[in-house]
Structures are given as C-alpha cells and as structure tokens.
Amino acid sequence: MSRGLGDVYKRQVFRLSKLCIRGGKRLTGDVVISGAKNAAVAILPAALLVDGICEIENLPYIKDVVLLTEAMQSLGAITSFEDKHTVKVDATTVYSYCATEESIGKMRASYYLIGALLGRFGKAEVAMPGGCNFGKRPIDQHIKGFEALGANVEVRGETIYATAEKLKGTHIYLDVVSVGATINIMLAAVLAEGTTTIENAAKEPHIVDVANFLNMMGANIKGAGTDVIRVKGVEKLQGGKYSIIPDQIEAGTYMMAAAITGGEVYVRNIIPEHMESVSLKMREMGVEIEEGDDYIHVSAGKDLIATNVKTLPHPGFPTDLQPQMTVLLSTAMGRSTMLESVFENRFQYVDQLNNMGTNITVYGNKAEIEGVSQLQGSEVTATDLRAGAAMILAGLKADGETYINEIKYIDRGYECVEEKMRALGADITRI
C-alpha cells in the first residue's frame, strides 16, 4: 500500500499526448539534473531485500519509478512518499513473490524483481520485461547467474519462474558484459550462503550505486565499478537512508541540447567524472566544456566538427546517448559515423529524423551521417525513450514546428522535460 503524498503523486496521470516544439531558440541558463533512472529502477527492487524501513532520496519522478512502486505495493510493501523525490519503503510486510501484473511487463527494469524476490523468498514469478523495443535484449546471462546460485529457472509464456531451496555463493563468468545481469546476480547473492564472485561484470556508475545502497543496508559487496565483484552473503539487511546518484544520461542529453542550439548551459547536480566519454567527444566537435565539482558548463557558439563515435560499456560512450549524439552529429558539417556495439537494431528512429532533414544512412549497426546546415520541423513518433529525447533535440534545432507523438516513452526516463527545457529558453509545450 501507499501512504501520504504518494497517493497524490500516484493519481497524477502521465498524459499520453504529444510535444510541440518551435525550434530556433538558443538555450541558456542552468538545469538541475534529477536522480539516475537506471539506478532508481534497480534500487527500488533492492529495497525488497531489506528487513526494515529504508528511505530513498533523489528519486527521479518518472513513469518507471511510479510503476515500480505500484508493483512493490502489489507484493505487500508499504511505500510512503515524503516528497516528490523521496520515498520510504517498508518491505517487512511483503508477502508475495508473484509480480505478474500487465503493468510490470511494460518495464524493462521489472527483471530486477526476479533477483530481489529470489533473494528474499527463494521464489519469484515475474512477468517478462518489456520497455523500449530496439532489438533483442536477452536475459540469458541473468538466468545463467540464478542457476549458478542454485535456482531452477523456467520461462513459460510471458512469465519467468525461479525457485531455489537454498541460494549458495558461487563463481560466475558473464559471457557478455551485461548491466542488468550484473545487478540481478548481486541482488540474488546478497543474502545467499557464502561468497559469490561475478567476473566480466559491468562497471556502470549505477552498478556502483546499487552496491553502495546495499552496503549501506548491511550487505558485503566489494569491487563494484571493476570487472570483478565479490558478494559475501549476510543474514539480513537493515533499514537506512540513501541518496541516488545524478543521471548521467539526462545530463548528457542537456549537454547536447545546449550544443545543438549553439547555447550556453550550466548542467548542475552531476558527477563530471561520469560524463568523461561524452565530454571528450563533444570537445572533439568543437564544443567548449568546463568542469566544476558538481557541474559542467557547455558553450557552443561556433560550427560543430564531424567526428566518429562508438558505443561501448562504461567507461566508453553510453549506448543510451547514442540517438542524441547521432542528432548532434547530423548538424556537424562533414561526414561522421556512429557505431552501435551494445544493442542491435537501435537505429529504428533514423527514418523519423530523416523526415526532419537529417542525412543518415544505416548499415546494420553502423550509421553514416552527412551533416546538414538546418533541420525542418515535422510530425514524428518517438520509437523508444532515448530516441524520443533525440527528437526533442532535433525539434530544438529545426525551423518551424515539430510534433512528437508517443511521448509516453520520454516520460519513462525524463522528469519534467518540457519544464526544464522551457526554463532554458526552449519553446516547447505538451498538447
């Protein structure tokens, strides 16, 4: 169940409408970055492992967070919103290991419920994850990890069933670097008997954040942020308070929004070290980047320079910034390339951008980009979360009006995007 302000927030409808952008405005000013979506959607399920009350601060108020708290309530947890960005979770009342509602299947991050419920109950029944559709994102490495810990896992229809008499620590080598599998195995291993070693682990900042949250609650996890993570099982986790890290993907999106409009923006409440691969590529394009303790100052008053980008696991260039960077490269004179090495079929949005005047040709997992001097407003459809963000950037640059449909995807990961953009000078409204 939910208490307090949570009831108010849960009643807010994320309107499945469209965005209208009148381009040509130079962005200036300050933008404050919200908590990290990718950390929040893992830390909330992790709270189900806690035998007590934990308070999670700096939550982004986005659709995926709302859906996850509702899913946790359906399992018996009490979630109480202290304010828009802070929730208390009391998991002592959780009685169910079945998370099979239709809404759960709409989120990719729902798979973290498997690791959390398996770790808590030795059982889990969870709807197959959904989310953005940009190619196969199998969960075979997740299943491999659960089975190595002693679980039996079956996929029947649209539901994943996992059971274990006793989870025991083991040595797991991931065949591919997988953020989701790394986190899910951590969740399942925290209360397991003995020590679990995860080799070829992902190193993203939100993995470190999840490990830090669990350690704050009493877990024993070492090596997060490296390719070898060791989880020594403990008997129980106790409550506590934790603040989520800033969202590097939201930060990168606003950095590129400043650049594509020739603007000057301070991107605040961030960890500049998390942005290093993005900052380096933007500097290659001629964008001035100045770093402070918790901010980055972006200034782009001159023509952008073409360059080549390849997405890679952290600390490489993030795949979740690939569509936004592709738009930015489209406005740099000359030829650029974007090589997508993390997910297949993540260029589904390109046809939408080409309708706005970009000159992008896709060959499998590679896009060749011929820079153009100007984009034209059009009616487009967001094909996924980050593609939707890319279309916002294109709309900011374009002449005339741009209408973006299916903004439900954007609401999954960007808090108050139109308000934040308007505060920087953009002409953007939800209609």
The set of catalytic residues is 132
Instruction: Read off φ and ψ for residue 376, nearest 5 degrees.
Output: -120, 135
Nearest alpha carbon to residue 220 among 202, 235, 241: 235
Tokens of 333: 């004179």
| Residue located via tokens 């990719």 | 108
Contacts of 318 (CB under 8 A, 6+ apart): 248, 249, 252, 277, 278, 311
Q: Where are the beta strands (DSSP E) in 35-97?
A: 53-57, 78-83, 86-90
Q: Sign (positive/negative) of CA torsion 291, 209, 313, 395?
A: negative
Cβ contact 24:47 at 8 Å: no
Residue 127 DSSP SS3: strand
Strand partners, 21: 402, 428
Three-state SS at 12: coil
Pair of tokens at residue 108:
């990719």
DSSP H helices, 296-415, are 322-330, 350-354, 385-397, 408-411
Q: Are 391 and 369 in contact (CB under 8 A)?
A: no
**In 3D, which of 233, 207, 203, 208 has the Cα closest to residue 218?**
233
CA-nearest of 359, 364, 372 to 345 is 364
**β-pair type (308-310, 335-339):** parallel
Task: Give all strands of the β-sheet with 401-405 in edge-to-edge order.
Answer: 379-381, 401-405, 19-22, 427-430
- Which region holds residue 206: left if phi is over 0, alpha if psi is between -120 and 50, else beta? alpha
CA dist., res. 193 & res. 304, Å (int): 55
Distance CA 317, CA 164 (A): 38
